[in-house]
Structure 1
Amino acid sequence: MSAARRARLALAILLTCLGCAVGVGACSSGTSGDDGAGPITFAAIADFTNGHQIGKAVDRWNAAHPDQHVRYIELSESADEQRSQLVATAQGSGECYDVNSLDVVWTAEFARGHLVVPLDERESHRYGINKDLFVSASWESGRYRNQQWAVPFLANVPLLFYRRDLLGPATKPPASLQEMISQIGSVNHRRAQAGQEPIGGFGGQFAHYEGLTVNALEIVRALGGDLAPRPNQAVSQADAVRTALGLLAAGARPGGWIPQADLAYKEQGTWEAFLHGQLLFMRNWPYAYKLLTAPTSPVADKVGIEPLPWSGVLGGHNLAVSTCSTHRATAWSFVSYLATNLDVQTTMLRDGGYPPVLQAGYQGRQDDFTKAILAALAHAGTRPVSPYYAAVSGTIQDAVSSVLNQARRPADAVDFLAANLPDALHGG
């Protein structure tokens, strides 16, 4: 922590203690800055919404609250880089980010490390942050050990995008992973007979980063296995995990159902490949739908959308107030504004493709896009819950990446996971 920040926090604690001496309240360093109002900093994910709607929401707040200005810092596209930057600042490296946008899997880590403050009953009532307003799965993603540490902001659940024109009117979207792989083969067989080049089969996120963990979990679970389902279990149904990794290894070979280029793709690379006609199927987040169906998109009238035919992994971002914040009243007010304002939430859906975290955000909507999101949310799973999630995810990434790149056999990868995930789950 910088000397300047230590001085500010020490002064806040001193003033609180002086207040308790004259009967204002109990003296506790844990309450310093709780009621402070003033300028704050908001660190959040890269804004992929049409028209940069997160930034515009911040602008509307600033116009209405000139004495409580919010400075918006847009973080990296990479979830791993986002986490590293947020952890570094929360631990005292540089300025304080008063409000952090946390990936749903970081709740346990930030709570256990006392990097953020919990939402207690007082703040909940004072700022109108009531759990009954929210979609249950989103609200629960901000809890750790029976306390609420973060408030839902942007929900996310993966969807299956496909080329309706290439599947053909007589072919229904796949109902399973295996059926999707079969349809890829059928389409490319027809293209070969017509003298056309093959099209890439399935675009996921298979670069060596957090997206690989999510994609791997989904495919492993699609075949009946699981990774780190409980703190004391590294692998569930090892044979199914081995089969899933074997399917990935075969798919990643030249001519397989996963294009070679996809081994380096994150979300943006995948939707750009789909946009330019290089993919038949794509697994991606809902925001891609608005980009692909925009008037300037070459595939605007060719995109089909469905829930994944296997259980997707719940994503999204929640808002948490930093322990270092000395303007927590403004911070909680701003959190409430982003999370409970229906206009903000519906704008994020309309222009960003982010499913609302508010139950009211789904009322009266019957379009195919919203139906696909609701169906996907109903069957979504979660990533392993651990304060050491980064180590857990890194171990999964190492194993799966080595399989995709043909550097490790699927059976050896299962052994690697069984040997290394237990230590990762417990911070070893």
Structure 2
Amino acid sequence: MVRLRIVFMFLLLAVTGCLFSGPPPEPYTTVHYYQFSLPGFNATFDPLVEQFHRLYPKYRIRVHALPTGTDDQHQFYLTHLKTRGPGGIDVLALDVIWMAEFARAGLLAPLTDLLPPEKWSDFFPASVQAGTFGEKHYGVPLFVDGGVLYSRKDLLQKHGFDRPPATWSELVSMAKTIMRVESNERLYGFVWQARQYEGLICNFTEFLPRGQPWLLPQGGGRLNRALIEPRLRFMRSLLTDGVSPPSVLAMAEESSRHVFQNGQAVFMRNWPYAWRLLQQADSSVAGKVWMSSLPAVAAGETGHGTLGGFLLGMHRDTPVADAARAWIAFLARPEVQRTLWHKLGLIPARKSVLRSDPPPDPPPVNVLFEVMTHAVPRPATPLYMPLSQSMQAYLSGGLGKVYSIDEAMRLMDADLQRLTRVLNDKTGA
């Protein structure tokens, strides 16, 4: 009898073990969120994640930090968005230039109904435009950025100029005057980013007249040569006339900042992040700098910076759509965008947040507001990445006299037509 009881208990335990083998069921709905890494990233995001968990006790956020370089992030997304396995992407932070590519490929879910219309209107218009494809919102603005002009206030005032230049021709005139009178071989007129990389496209966009398209509307297969060619000639004249040094052909953001911060340039084009660094105690120009909108092409026009920043997107096949949408809406909240501004220096995409409660020692908020209001996005086309790479090569070659301006324009236009044919062949258009 005892033996039968032992056998019965053994069978019962065995059956019970079979019924409950493997890990226990997950008590939470987990969202896998992928975004860039930054200094101070964990210290800022960990409390935000904890706050979200308190608001939504059944949801959990797993934050995955990607490399800082946008090219590495883009390649990671291309590799992992098309096949979504366990732990795959649910929510992702996207550079503003990727949205059309990923949305057209059907990799993102529309988010138009995530926020009511009046909430969308609180974001800067260019950031909303960058996240829109086919009249649907696929990206919710996380933060914004825009190109700005830095001027040596002390040098301008010394030589009789009481404000930054309003037009590019004024910048050239001021720079030449100051360089001539100062007679300092180590003082350049204007430093910017002309290296062959995405930053060159940002700079190029800022030399163009505002409100006129790069691409002609007939299928988007031709460059607007009448718009682009004279501005490319102007860019090259900055080098040939000595306003900019030949070294700008190798400059990116940090290399140009170091030149300006060491007191070796009258003007610099860069992003708002440089403001804080220029004001540090060891900076040669601390307290001697104006930050302003970039110059316009002609008097009476509005200058503009290229739109930068990131958007939040959701994978089309996420199995946790409700939780993913809740996380995106949370990150878009005013109080969260204020935290990202104060802790990480990310400029809020919400106009209401930028207007109020700035962090200690911010860049001039009135200038930031003007810059973000007039920021211009790069072309929203699925062809943008290959088009950008093509234009980087030919713009760089044109500026460096590898190509004549005519030849650079012809090669860019031919590449765009080739890319358009490839796109149409794939879509059957």
Aligned residues: 378
- 1:259 equivalenced with 2:251 (yes/no): no
Q: Indicate the residue corresponding to 2:397 in structure 1.
A: 402
Alpha-carbon spacing, 1:290–1:147, altered in 2? closer, same or farther (3 Å): same
- Distance apart, 1:426 and its partner CA: 5.4
- 1:392 equivalenced with 2:376 (yes/no): no
Structure 1 unmatched ranges of 5 or more: 1-35
Q: Quick one: distance in 1 between partners of 2:126 and 2:212? A: 22
Q: Quick one: distance in 2 between partners of 1:418 and 1:374? A: 35
- Distance apart, 1:257 and its partner CA: 2.3
Q: Quick one: distance in 1 between partners of 2:247 and 2:88? A: 39
Amino acid at match of 2:149: L
Q: Quick one: distance in 2 between partners of 1:272 and 1:328? A: 45
Alpha-carbon spacing, 1:130–1:375, altered in 2? closer, same or farther (3 Å): closer
Q: Indicate the residue corresponding to 1:174 in structure 2.
A: 165
Q: How is 1:10-21 mapped onto 2 (pairs within 5 angstroms)?
A: none
Q: Quick one: distance in 2 between partners of 1:372 and 1:335? A: 28
Q: Quick one: distance in 2 between partners of 1:178 and 1:99? A: 45
Q: Secondary structure at the match of 1:42?
A: strand
Q: Secondary structure at the match of 2:151?
A: strand
Q: Secondary structure at the match of 2:170?
A: helix
Alpha-carbon spacing, 1:217–1:359, altered in 2? closer, same or farther (3 Å): closer
Q: Indicate the residue corresponding to 2:72 in structure 1.
A: 81
Q: Quick one: distance in 2 between partners of 1:410 and 1:293? A: 39
- 1:300 equivalenced with 2:286 (yes/no): yes
- Distance apart, 1:295 and its partner CA: 4.3
1:157–1:286 CA contact under 8 A, matched in 2: yes
Residue 414 (structure 2) aligned to one of 389, 414, 419: 419
Amino acid at match of 1:204: W
Q: Quick one: distance in 1 between partners of 2:29 and 2:292? A: 45
Q: Quick one: distance in 1 between partners of 2:197 and 2:411? A: 18
- Distance apart, 1:185 and its partner CA: 1.5
- 1:59 equivalenced with 2:46 (yes/no): yes
Residue 107 (structure 1) aligned to one of 83, 99, 109: 99
- Distance apart, 1:93 and its partner CA: 9.0
Q: Indicate the residue corresponding to 1:329 in structure 2.
A: 322
**Residue deviations 1:146-197, cap 9 Å, x none?**
21111000111211111112222531211111211222222211221xxx33
- 1:131 equivalenced with 2:124 (yes/no): no
Q: Indicate the residue corresponding to 2:24 in structure 1.
A: none
- Distance apart, 1:71 and its partner CA: 2.1
Amino acid at match of 2:352: A
More displaced stretch, 93-102 vs 103-112? 93-102
Q: Indicate the residue corresponding to 1:338 in structure 2.
A: 331
Q: Quick one: distance in 1 between partners of 2:250 and 2:157? A: 29
Q: Secondary structure at the match of 2:92?
A: strand
Q: Indicate the residue corresponding to 1:215 in structure 2.
A: 203
- Distance apart, 1:304 and its partner CA: 0.8
Q: TM-score, normalised by structure 1?
A: 0.78
1:234–1:417 CA contact under 8 A, matched in 2: no
RMSD over aligned Cα, in angstroms?
3.0
Q: Indicate the residue corresponding to 1:22 in structure 2.
A: none
Q: Quick one: distance in 2 between partners of 1:352 and 1:290? A: 12
CA radius of gyration, larger in: 2
Q: How is 1:276-295 mapped onto 2 (pairs within 5 angstroms)?
A: 276-295=262-281
**Residue deviations 1:63-105, cap 9 Å, x none?**
332861432313333x333322221221339962332211212
Alpha-carbon spacing, 1:246–1:399, altered in 2? closer, same or farther (3 Å): same
- Distance apart, 1:37 and its partner CA: 5.3
**Residue deviations 1:256-291, cap 9 Å, x none?**
222333222222333233223233211122222222
- Distance apart, 1:130 and its partner CA: 3.8
Q: How is 1:20-59 mapped onto 2 (pairs within 5 angstroms)?
A: 38-47=29-38, 52=40, 54-59=41-46
Amino acid at match of 1:100: L
- Distance apart, 1:387 and its partner CA: 1.2
Q: Indicate the residue corresponding to 1:97 in structure 2.
A: 89
**Residue deviations 1:209-245, cap 9 Å, x none?**
21111211222337x975325343523252x533322
- Distance apart, 1:418 and its partner CA: 2.6
- 1:162 equivalenced with 2:151 (yes/no): yes
1:117–1:320 CA contact under 8 A, matched in 2: yes
1:129–1:336 CA contact under 8 A, matched in 2: no
- Distance apart, 1:402 and its partner CA: 0.7
1:55–1:72 CA contact under 8 A, matched in 2: no
- Distance apart, 1:361 and its partner CA: 1.0
Q: Secondary structure at the match of 2:309?
A: strand
Q: Quick one: distance in 2 between partners of 1:368 and 1:73? A: 27
- 1:360 equivalenced with 2:339 (yes/no): no
Q: Secondary structure at the match of 2:348?
A: coil
Q: Quick one: distance in 2 between partners of 1:229 and 1:57? A: 44
1:276–1:298 CA contact under 8 A, matched in 2: yes
**Residue deviations 1:278-336, cap 9 Å, x none?**
33211122222222224453422112111111322222210111235443333322222
Q: Indicate the residue corresponding to 2:21 in structure 1.
A: none
- 1:378 equivalenced with 2:362 (yes/no): no
Q: Secondary structure at the match of 1:105?
A: coil
2:140–2:313 CA contact under 8 A, matched in 1: yes
Q: Quick one: distance in 2 between partners of 1:284 and 1:401? A: 18
